[in-house]
Structure formats: structure tokens, C-alpha cells
């Protein structure tokens, strides 16, 4: 069954307006195309337990795009400083491409690497990025500990790791000298922060309000103590 494109577009536009995020018409078209592909492949390879495309708009698209203002602030802060461009972001354990794929659509000038050990999921990501002609996306079918790129990353993000400690320990070799971990969490992870306090310092904890989603969401921004 195809998605109700009209309804999904309206939910996306309304959500973007509520979040005060400026996404142009072409980018909205790409987000809907990504949603269509996600919904289609989800039937075969189980990208998500969510089956309703309209619910996917909130729980997947908007839940990723809520990071846009923070990413824009990060980019603006980097401008004028000695920084390597384009900005490099890696989404570790990306699964179906969340949050990295929607962010790559809305920020075509940054390089986004989508890393996952599941071959079926990375095949979906590769085929969809190719279909949407997104040249700023690189897909890697590897475990995080087995991925050793030539260049490190400004931002290491994930919403899939079981704990902050797992994320920090598993991905610390990917983080550049002034890089940041961006961990998307449900409830405020007070215990997890204590468990990795010797390795990271918290820069910020942003409480996120995702339209049509009543669950708690946080963006935890961390820096590596060893890399300071």
C-alpha cells in the first residue's frame, strides 16, 4: 500500500512550522521520497516497528529534524574558526538512516556517513541515497569498532546505542579533536552520565519537543575529556 502523500506532506509541513524549521520545497519533496522508500522497504526488512506512514512522519522524520536548529548553530559557530570543511557527521548504528538521512537532506553542504552492521539496512540506505541523488551521503556496512576512516568526524550521533558508555567507548576513535557526541535519548540519562563521567564532559542537555509525540526526548551533547 502506498503512503497517503497528501496527508504526510501536511503533517510534515505542520510539524516543521511548529518547530520553526525552514525546509525548502525541494527538501520536503526529498523527505517524502525517503519516507516512501522507508515504508516500502520496511515491509521486507523491518526497518521499524512503526507501520503507519503518518506516524513515521512524527516518530522518524520530525524526531530527526528536531536537531536542525542545533546543527545550524554548530555550523554557524564553526564558521570563522580554523575548521575543516565540509563539516563531517557520522550516524552510528543508523538503522534505517535516522537521524542522519533526514539531516543530510536538509544540510546538503555537510558530509554524512551512515554506519550500520546490517547489510540489508545499508543496502536500503545506499539505494535510496542513489535514487534521491544525495551525493553528500556515504553508507558504510561495518561494525563501529571495525570502521577506521582516514578523516575523523566533527559530530558522532546516534539514537540507537543502549547507553552513553556504549556510544562513547565504541565510537571514540571516530571523534575529531574538537568533536562532539550527539546522543538522542528518551528519559534524562542521569545514571548513564555518571557511568561515563571519566571519559566525557556534558556540554548541553536539550529537551526536545517533537510534534505529535508525547514521549520524553533529549539531545545530550558531550565532548571527550581525552580530546580536550
Cell of 78: 564553526
Three-class SS of residue 93?
coil
Q: How confident is the model at residue 78 (pLDDT cuts 50, 70, 90)?
A: confident
pLDDT tens-digit map of 88-135: 999 999 999 999 999 999 999 999 999 999 999 999 999 999 999 999
Would you say residue 14 has pLDDT above 70? Answer: yes
Long-range contacts of 117-124 (CB under 8 A, 24+ apart): 117/141, 117/142, 117/143, 117/144, 120/45, 121/45, 121/47, 121/94, 121/95, 121/96, 124/37, 124/38, 124/41, 124/45, 124/47, 124/96, 124/97
pLDDT confidence band for 29 (50 / 70 / 90)? very high
- Name residue 97's beta-bridge partners: none
CA 152 to chain CA centroid, Å, is 17
| Confidence label for 83 from pLDDT (cuts 50, 70 and 90) | low
Contact (Cβ atoms closer than 8 angstroms) between residue 95 and residue 64: no
Q: What is the pLDDT of residues 157-213, one digit of tens each?
A: 999 788 999 999 999 999 998 899 999 999 999 999 999 999 999 999 999 999 999
Distance CA 69, CA 109 (A): 15
pTM of the model: 0.95
Amino acid at each position: 500500500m502506498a503512503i497517503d502523500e497528501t496527508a504526510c506532506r501536511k503533517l510534515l509541513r505542520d510539524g516543521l512550522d511548529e518547530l520553526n524549521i525552514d525546509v525548502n520545497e525541494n527538501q520536503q519533496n526529498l523527505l517524502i521520497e525517503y519516507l516512501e522508500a522507508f515504508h516500502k522497504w520496511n515491509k521486507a526488512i523491518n526497518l521499524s516497528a512503526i507501520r503507519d506512514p503518518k506516524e513515521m512522519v512524527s516518530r522518524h522524520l520530525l524526531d530527526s529534524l528536531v536537531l536542525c536548529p542545533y546543527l545550524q548553530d554548530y555550523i554557524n559557530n564553526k564558521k570563522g574558526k580554523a575548521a575543516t570543511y565540509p563539516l563531517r557527521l557520522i550516524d552510528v548504528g543508523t538503522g534505517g538512516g535516522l537521524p542522519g538521512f533526514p539531516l543530510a537532506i536538509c544540510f546538503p553542504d555537510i558530509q554524512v556517513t551512515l554506519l550500520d552492521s546490517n547489510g540489508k539496512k545499508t543496502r536500503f540506505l545506499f539505494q535510496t541515497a542513489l535514487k534521491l541523488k544525495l551525493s553528500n551521503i556515504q553508507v558504510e556496512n561495518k561494525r563501529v569498532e571495525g570502521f577506521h576512516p582516514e578523516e575523523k568526524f566533527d559530530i558522532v550521533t546516534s539514537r540507537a546505542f543502549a547507553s552513553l558508555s556504549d556510544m562513547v567507548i565504541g565510537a571514540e576513535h571516530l571523534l575529531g579533536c574538537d568533536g562532539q557526541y550527539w546522543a538522542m535519548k528518551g528519559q534524562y540519562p542521569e545514571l548513564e552520565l555518571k557511568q561515563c563521567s571519566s571519559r566525557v564532559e556534558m556540554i548541553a542537555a536539550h529537551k526536545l519537543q517533537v510534534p505529535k509525540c508525547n514521549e520524553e526526548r533529549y539531545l545530550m551533547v558531550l565532548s571527550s575529556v581525552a580530546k580536550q
